[in-house]
Amino acid sequence: MPSHHRITVNLPTREFCSSLKGLAQKRELTMSRLVLDIVIACLRFDASSARFLEELRHDLKEGNSGEESFNGNETGILHRTTILVPKKDTGDTCEQIVLKAVECRLPDYEFTMSETSSQGEFHSDAKRKMSDTAREEVRKVLKKYVLSKVPAITGQLGGTPTFLHIFVKKAMVRYSEDNDSGCNVRIQTTLHVLPLFLNDVRNSRLDFPGIRFRQFKALAVKGWDKSKYEKMVFIENASETKSGGYFTGLAWNKKGNMDEIYEGYELLNVGTAEKPENIFCKVHMHSRDIKFKNTITLSLPKKDNPTLPK
């Protein structure tokens, strides 16, 4: 008896059908099960579904590595970036510097908001809530603190990139009222750091200045500007929010105007007076990744991740 749940679809080409068979064999799935998983992932709006679809795209590109591909390894730059530099001893040979996207946790940052900054925001009530104005002030302080740690971050990467995207993956803000009606604040911050060399950015179709936080549901329902981007690429591990994440568009052509690449970045010097090194840095921070908690006694941090030196 035919199933009432069955849908028959004619695939556009034999090559596409063959590619799906290869993906199914790699995951030890039947063709029907793979297609079902793809349909479910496209209809869901969570990080695991977005990650599953990106893995399929990655495997599909690997399977076609022997052919001329229009996409190339466009998403590889989101995991690692490379550059060839002459060796110091012998100028006729070069060594390859490889920088990878990493996670790091900053040392806890403590400060006191002045009475003026916190006036009217904190009361004797133990369940008081920090106002939107005060929270925005904390976010500004957090961004300045992250930027101040850029030299320490690049020092652990193994080289100085041209561009540095820093995502505030998770920030826990604990605060309590002090005796002078101010507010004591401690911030625990975990980052996702994406270093990039200029040559890789030039040869990529990814729109790095256009990185934005997007809700999975909104992206699935409203889509994106298909005249500008072939697709939207999910940046893994940049946010812990379950309802959305950071995406960058994959343009149809490589960017010809280099001026656009530098838009929205801050130029920082991470070198020394004898050997200055400039880096273009951008901090990405979404309110959903910053949690505020009122506490009387500030607890010590858990050391789950490596922490940068103070």
The CA-CA-CA angle for residues 105, 107, 113, to 5°, reads 120
Model-level pTM greater than 0.85? no
Give pLDDT tens digits for 180-199.
667 889 999 999 999 999 98
Comparing 219-228, 252-261, 296-305, which segment has the lowest mean pLDDT? Answer: 296-305
Copy the structure tokens of residue 56.
């399929």
> What average pLDDT does the segment 40-69 reach?
69
Summarised one tens digit per residue, pLDDT across range 72-102 is 467 889 999 998 888 776 666 778 889 999 9
Residue range 250-294, pLDDT digits in tens: 988 776 566 667 778 899 988 777 777 899 999 999 999 999 988
Mean pLDDT, the chain, integer: 82
Contacts of 20 (CB under 8 A, 6+ apart): 11, 31, 34, 35
- Categorize the per-residue pLDDT at 136 as very low, low, confident or very high, splitting at 50, 70 and 90: very high
Cα separation, 262 vs 134, in Å, equals 31
Per-residue model confidence as pLDDT tens digits over 112-131: 887 545 444 454 444 467 88
